[in-house]
Copies of this chain bind each other. A is one copy, B any other.
Amino acid sequence: MGRRVVPDTVEAIAGAVAQARAQGGLILVTGGIGPTRDDRTREGVARALGRPLRVDRVAERDVRAWCRRIRAPYSSDRARQSLIPTGATALSNRTGSAPGIWYADARGMVAVLPGVTGELKAMLPTLLPRLRRRAGEEIASATLRVAGPGESTVDARVASLSKRFPRTEVTTLASPGEVVIQLRCRGKAAGREVSRCRAAMARRLGRDLVSECGKTLEEEVLSLLRQRRLRMAVAESCTAGMVAARLTSVPGSSRSFLGGAVCYNDRAKTRILSVPTKILERDGAVSRRATLAMAKGVIDLTGAEVAVAITGIAGPGGAAPGKPVGLVHWAVGTQGGLRAWRRRLTGDREKIRSHAATIALDLVRRALLARGRIARTLRD
């Protein structure tokens, strides 16, 4: 396993593919199949395979259809996208202009897919049946998602399991406020091995476990809301829309998410959420009272049953005596009442903001799990 990034030249691409061919297995090449002059992947792969490019009927039909759709002429640059190495198969791209390429022989497989993330993601599943046909060995994997404790704490809690499941390879990946644990195993009964290891980890992680099926924090929050027939709203200051954007990245989120307010300055807090001017003057916008008033305000405004409010100092400016950069207050409102937390986060502006958004979602998750009784989870 490995990954390489090479410059946009035929020589570099051909060289890298030829080298990778020596190792066998699957070579996945992404990017460089668009219509512009620096898109040279087709030529590079064709040279590495020693198979000249030819016009492919399926690819040409797809490229022509795309041109009609975006009302662009089928120019000579576009026509280059219909070229495929002899002996290879074109892979239809339903979300973009560039058809992919599939090639397989005794030495291995080469798949060429677009570099645009959305198109790549949409096309990856088309490789699965082709790969299964060639795979001999059983391979299993699982993803657990944890919110709250840091990577070292999570690692320490699950470390001893590696003795019980020596064949399962464990990788952890941390982002602010979240840790993703990946399990991988190959060979006989790999599926059973991984699911046992996953279950043992889940027991050790308790409430800190967001999901053991790869579900994201926002997906889990939306599932809990749907199960409980509750609708949610947000009142965001320092995260300014990040919590709303994460929730609505999930298709169907409109069933449980109503919307809310982005109140980036004091006037917006007063005008949109009716936060009393008195609180902003006495306690300041980054305070327990302000965040509680924001949560109450957005519930009154939207009629939601669940709300989370976030206000903090993301930096680099904005610090005041007793209110350092990184200080964040959250409030969660449910039918069980309102509750506030605060914590000082570390890192730069983007890290503080995304960490604050993650904690907001996690507080809602824990509140929903506690069924009305909100657990005290953050150090005050």
**A51 adjacent to chain B (CB < 8 Å):** no
**A244 adjacent to chain B (CB < 8 Å):** yes
Interface mask (A202-238 → B, CB under 8 Å = 1, otherwise 0): 0000000000000000000000000000000110111
Stretch at the interface among A140-148, A185-193, A266-274, A365-373: A266-274
Across-interface contacts of A241 in B (CB, < 8 A):
236, 240-245, 248, 262
- In the complex, the answer to whether B38 meets A171 with C-beta atoms within 8 Å is yes
**A6 adjacent to chain B (CB < 8 Å):** yes
Give the contacting residue for A118; candidates B5, B301, B316, B347; CB below 8 A: B347
Complexed CA–CA distance, A6 and B58 (Å): 36
- In the complex, the answer to whether A351 meets B302 with C-beta atoms within 8 Å is no
Give chain A's interface secondary structure class.
Answer: mixed
A5's nearest neighbour on chain B, judged by CB, is: B3
- In the complex, the answer to whether A37 meets B159 with C-beta atoms within 8 Å is yes
- In the complex, the answer to whether A95 meets B347 with C-beta atoms within 8 Å is yes
**A125 adjacent to chain B (CB < 8 Å):** no
**A136 adjacent to chain B (CB < 8 Å):** no
Complexed CA–CA distance, A75 and B258 (Å): 46
**A375 adjacent to chain B (CB < 8 Å):** no
**A170 adjacent to chain B (CB < 8 Å):** yes
**A276 adjacent to chain B (CB < 8 Å):** no
Evaluate whether A303 and B118 lie within 8 angstroms (CB atoms) in the complex, with A36-B152, A244-B262 already known.
no
Interface mask (A267-292 → B, CB under 8 Å = 1, otherwise 0): 11001100000000000000000000
**A174 adjacent to chain B (CB < 8 Å):** yes
Complexed CA–CA distance, A1 and B118 (Å): 27
Complexed CA–CA distance, A262 and B150 (Å): 31
Stretch at the interface among A104-112, A126-134, A249-257, A327-335: A249-257
Give the contacting residue for A69; candidates B261, B262, B346; CB below 8 A: B346
**A317 adjacent to chain B (CB < 8 Å):** yes
- In the complex, the answer to whether A155 meets B268 with C-beta atoms within 8 Å is no
**A163 adjacent to chain B (CB < 8 Å):** no
Kindly identify, within residues 1 to 17 of chain A, every residue whose CB is under 8 Å from any CB belonging to chain B: 1-8, 12, 16
**A239 adjacent to chain B (CB < 8 Å):** yes
- In the complex, the answer to whether A262 meets B234 with C-beta atoms within 8 Å is yes
**A247 adjacent to chain B (CB < 8 Å):** yes
Interface mask (A21-42 → B, CB under 8 Å = 1, otherwise 0): 0000000000000111110000
Which residues of A does B touch, CB under 8 Å?
A: 1-8, 12, 16, 34-38, 69-70, 72, 77-78, 95-96, 116, 118-119, 121-122, 150-152, 155, 159, 170-172, 174-175, 233-234, 236-245, 247-249, 251-254, 257-265, 267-268, 271-272, 301-303, 315-318, 346-351, 353
